[in-house]
Amino acid sequence: MIRFLIIIVLILLIVFLVRALTPRSEYTLCERCDGRGYWLATRGERDKCDACGGSGKVLR
Ligand SMILES: [Zn+2]
């Protein structure tokens, strides 16, 4: 029983550490183009998104 508790505590610790160590991205998906980096124009052409410059990501 104690071994079981130790395993649970270890798992929680690992999850906590991974979350703490994961670098938070400075970039977020572009809201205007949903991260695609382009707009669909009326005739099906792809227009480069001005907000993110075609990368689909913008600085926070
Ligand atoms: Zn965009």
Q: Is the pTM of this model over 0.75?
A: no
Whole-number pLDDT of residue 11: 95
User: If you measure from the C-alpha of residue 25 to the centroid of ligand 1, how many angstroms do you get, rounded to a whole number?
Assistant: 17
Gap between the Cα atoms of 40 and 59, Å rounded: 23
User: If you measure from the C-alpha of residue 19 to the centroid of ligand 1, how many angstroms do you get, rounded to a whole number?
Assistant: 28
Give the pLDDT band of residue 3 (cuts 50, 70, 90).
Answer: very high
Share of the chain above pLDDT 90, in %: 23
Q: How many domains does the chain have?
A: 1
Domain membership of residue 46 as a residue range: 2-59
pLDDT digits (tens, 9 = 90+) for 20-60: 887 777 888 999 888 899 988 788 788 898 888 988 888 87
Ion ligand 1: residues, Cβ under 5 Å = 30, 32-33, 49, 51-52
Query: What contacts 52, CB < 8 A, 6 or more positions away?
Result: 30, 32, 33, 37, 58
